[in-house]
């Protein structure tokens, strides 16, 4: 059973608009959440993270929101740029990642059209 | 140098072959990881090394044998694999065991 779910396999957005990528999790022991971005033929690249003690973390155009009661997090990209087109993985970790065990979602492919 | 390199990029092997995947980083990281990613699935953790010692083995079959000869290098030795082992094998590293991991581009393995 998947502990981290990304229910939208793909998302298409116009350049300049907001991209919202969603992620749900089932394990209440998760206390750190991350987003990774992956271009074809490259490994995943760390993008942004959030601790379970926060509900929002912002880094430039990227903001991650965490709703613990709903076990839901989202990544907002504003404004979206064509270079943001990639597969975005949501990942979760328990015990602050001290065991290095990241649980990934299946990914959402974002296409930003000029 | 802020990257994790993996060789080879692609590997095709028969079920009776023995081969090795190599991963290298020169960022001074002391934790290194192997992940397996099947098509349209998320990466799944296989092994974690911390300070050159095996820290986590996620119940991986013995036909996969990891080795960490030094702090910069991580190998994955393959023997008697099955066609269902065909996947993208990703290596990652981090300063210590943590959630913020730096990934290599992966080795695309096909077992025939």
pLDDT digits (tens, 9 = 90+) for B43-78: 999 999 999 999 888 889 999 999 999 999 999 999
Q: How confident is the model at residue B1 (pLDDT cuts 50, 70, 90)?
A: low
**In the prediction, which pLDDT does B100 show?**
83
Report which of B62, B64, B83 is spatially closest to residue B74, judged by C-alpha positions.
B64
Q: Which of residues 63-82 of A touch B (CB under 8 A)?
A: none
Check if the beta carbon of residue A16 is closer than 8 Å to that of residue A79. Answer: yes
Q: How confident is the model at residue B110 (pLDDT cuts 50, 70, 90)?
A: very high
Mutation site, A100, A103, A107, A109, interface B, largest B CB count within 10 A: A100
**In the prediction, which pLDDT does B96 show?**
85
Query: What is the residue-averaged pLDDT of chain A?
Result: 93
User: Does the pLDDT at position A12 exceed 60?
Assistant: yes
Report which of B45, B56, B38 is spatially closest to residue B91, judged by C-alpha positions.
B45
Distances (CA, A) of A71 to A7, A30, A62, A99, B83: 14, 10, 20, 22, 37
Is B90 part of the contact surface with chain A (CB cutoff 8 Å)?
Answer: yes
In degrees and rounded to multiples of 5, residue B14 shows phi and psi of: -85, 170
Is B38 part of the contact surface with chain A (CB cutoff 8 Å)?
Answer: no
Check if the beta carbon of residue A89 is closer than 8 Å to that of residue A105. Answer: yes
Contact B102 A46 (CB under 8 A): yes
Based on the number of CB atoms within 10 Å of its own CB, is A100 exposed (0-12), middle (13-18) or buried (19 or more)? buried
pLDDT in tens, A68-92: 999 999 999 999 999 999 999 999 9
CA B15 to chain centre: 19
Contact B42 A89 (CB under 8 A): yes
Contact A93 B99 (CB under 8 A): yes
Contact A43 B56 (CB under 8 A): no
């Amino acid at each position: 059973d998947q502990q981290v779910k990304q229910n939208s396999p793909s998302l298409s957005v116009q350049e300049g608009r907001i991209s919202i990528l969603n992620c749900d999790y089932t394990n209440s022991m998760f206390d750190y959440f991350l987003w990774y971005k992956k271009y074809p033929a490259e490994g995943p690249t760390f993008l942004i993270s959030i601790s379970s003690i926060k509900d929002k973390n912002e880094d430039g155009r990227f903001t991650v929101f965490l709703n613990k009661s709903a076990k839901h997090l989202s990544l907002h990209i504003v404004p979206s740029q064509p270079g943001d087109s990639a597969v975005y993985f949501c990942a979760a970790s328990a015990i602050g990642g001290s065991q290095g065990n990241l649980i990934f979602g299946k990914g959402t492919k974002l296409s930003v059209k000029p | 140098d802020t990257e994790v390199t993996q060789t080879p990029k692609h590997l095709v092997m028969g079920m009776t072959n023995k081969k090795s995947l190599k991963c290298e980083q020169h960022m001074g990281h002391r934790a290194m990881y192997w992940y397996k990613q099947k098509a349209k699935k998320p990466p799944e953790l296989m092994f974690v090394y911390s300070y050159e010692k095996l820290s986590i083995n996620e119940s991986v079959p013995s036909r996969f044998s990891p080795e960490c000869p030094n702090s910069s290098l991580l190998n994955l030795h393959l023997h008697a694999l099955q066609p269902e082992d065909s996947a993208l094998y990703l290596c990652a590293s981090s300063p210590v065991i943590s959630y913020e991991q730096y990934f290599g581009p992966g080795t695309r393995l096909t077992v025939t």
